[in-house]
A and B are shown apart, each in its own frame.
Chain A
Amino acid sequence: MSWNSWGDFWAMGGYALYVWGSYAVTFALLATEATLLCLRRRSVLGHVGLVARNRARETNRGTA
């Protein structure tokens, strides 16, 4: 272990900006992509459900 304290850890030997700048952006972007994928799935399911309901209504009207 290279660290004597948490302060030591966060300071990254003077390279905090570079190291944490890399890690923060990486994990922020991965989390953003995962969130966008969830939102896309929700919107697609909503749209597909709407199409399915409309289709069902039209079929019912046709047979009535």
Chain B
Amino acid sequence: MTATMPPNANPGLRRLNAFRFSSPQTFYPLAGKILPYFAWAAVVLGAIGLYIGFFVAPTDAQQGEAYRIIFIHVPAAWMSMFIYVVMAFWAAMGLVFNTRLSAMMATALAPTGALFTFLALWTGALWGKPTWGAWWVWDARLTSELILLFLYLGFIALHSAIEDPRRADKAAGVLALVGVVNVPIIYFSVKWWNTLHQGASVSLTGAPTMAATMLAGMAVMALAFWMYAIAAALARVRSIILERERQSDWVHEYARSLK
């Protein structure tokens, strides 16, 4: 790692290599550089995933064409849980090391996580109606996923309700950490309780219960959503960095350099 160091960087950071990118000032340009790759990967993978999902994967023997909702439903549900864990990880890092950027990352992930949670619930409702005959049931899987949405919304609301950003980071960080207990509940809900929701389509043990092309479509769409989530979080964290560091000299120099 050479050459990318800005001239006015804190010399202390140079020694602490692992923490180098934990400074908003050094992370900001890096995020801007890698963002387009994730955005393009999301677009390309999304196109491939949709092609596989609609034109390669066969019609399901039991559910007909209704099953094609799986190509966005399952990836959205995976992302809703995965983003929450990553958000809680950054919140924990922020609480332990008191690094500003970690808390900013957690804040940047929350809206995208909430979006995927809503999409998992929405596509689930549209899948439930033709297959179960109901848009919604108070089943363990659905209820715990709804709680996940409330956790995301609670995190966002709590963070924006506290004026001092550092105090907001701490309070919302604690909420994120407490809420992480809900993720394994969602994941294992179909095993622990007798639910209407079907079990896991993909597991580490045992053969998958679906056609290989169906599985491929789902995996590629999951990758596309993953890349999208990274791009969205990076774009959001860049705005958050500028907002929260707006009094610092490097932001002023940067703003002038854009003119």
A21 and B129 alpha carbons, distance in the complex (Å): 12
CB-contacts of B125-154 with A (<8 A): 126-127, 129-130
Known: A12-B65, A29-B118, A41-B235. A48 touches B252 (CB 8 A): yes
| Chain A residue, CB-CB nearest to B119 | A26
* B12 part of interface (Cβ distance < 8 Å): no
The answer for the CA separation of A17 and B126 in the assembled complex, in Å, is 8
Q: Which of B232, B246, B258, B259 contacts A37 (CB 8 A)?
A: B232
A21–B130 Cα distance when bound, in Å, is 13
A-B contact count (CB 8 A): 101
| B68 interface residue per 8 A CB criterion | yes
- CB-CB under 8 A for A44 and B243, given A18-B126, A26-B72: yes
Contact-residue size bin, chain A (C-beta under 8 Å from the other chain): 20 to 34
Given A2-B58, A14-B64 in contact, is the A45-B232 Cβ separation under 8 Å? no
> In the complex, what distance in Å separates the CA atom of A14 from the CA atom of B254?
55
Question: Given A23-B72, A48-B246, are A15 and B64 neighbors across the interface (CB < 8 Å)?
Answer: yes
| B226-250 interface bits toward A, Cβ cutoff 8 Å, 1 = contact, 0 = none | 0010001001101100110011000
Check A19/B66 contact, CB under 8 A, given A33-B112, A45-B258: yes
Task: Given A22-B73, A22-B123, decide whether A41 and B68 contact each other with a Cβ distance below 8 A.
Answer: no
Interface status of B59 (Cβ within 8 A of chain A): yes
The yes or no answer to A64 lying at the interface (CB within 8 A) is: no
Instruction: For A51, give its contact among B55, B56, B246 (CB under 8 Å).
Output: B246
B76 at interface, CB cutoff 8 A:
yes
Chain B interface, >50% SS class: helix
Known: A18-B69, A26-B123. A48 touches B242 (CB 8 A): yes
- Do A33 and B115 have beta carbons less than 8 Å apart? yes
Shortest Cβ distance from residue B222 to the other chain A in the assembled complex, whole angstroms = 13
Point out the residues of chain B lying under 8 angstroms from A23, CB to CB.
72
Contacts of A2 in B (CB 8 A): 58-59, 65
**Which residues of A pack against B, CB within 8 Å?**
1-3, 9, 12-15, 17-19, 21-23, 25-26, 29-30, 33-34, 37-38, 40-41, 44-45, 47-49, 51-52, 55-56
Please name the 4 residue pairs, one residue from A and one from B, whose CB atoms are nearest each other, closest first.
A13-B65, A52-B252, A15-B66, A22-B123
